[in-house]
Amino acid sequence: MNVELVIVRALFIKGFESMRVINGTVEKCVVYIDINASTLFCGNRKRSSTVDGYSFSNFAQVIPEGDTVLTVVFNGLTPLVLQFSNPKTRDYMATMIPKLMV
């Protein structure tokens, strides 16, 4: 695993704030992965009882949309639609998320 991926994995384990798009409504969320790097979570706060979990084994693809939106597709699950502050961040996440899922 290269150094950049180790740093990104640590960031995802710690968690970061983003925006989530649900039915056209944009809301703040926290995106993070478990310590074993097997599940991606998204919720209004870390370890919330209402957090949504997405198993890495169900990962299908990421789809960049518009300038700042990224749709993360998982087989058999509702896609996770994230909105980032700028196109550069969105593009970076579009590159790194699939690498984390391996």
pLDDT tens by residue, 40-68: 999 998 888 889 999 999 999 999 999 99
The pTM of the full predicted model, rounded to 2 decimals, is: 0.90
Determine contact, residues 20/70, Cβ cutoff 8 Å: no
Res 102: pLDDT: 79
What residue spans define the domains of the chain? 3-100
What would the CATH number be for the domain defined by 3-100?
Answer: 2.30.29.30
pLDDT tens by residue, 13-49: 999 999 999 998 999 999 999 999 899 999 998 888 8
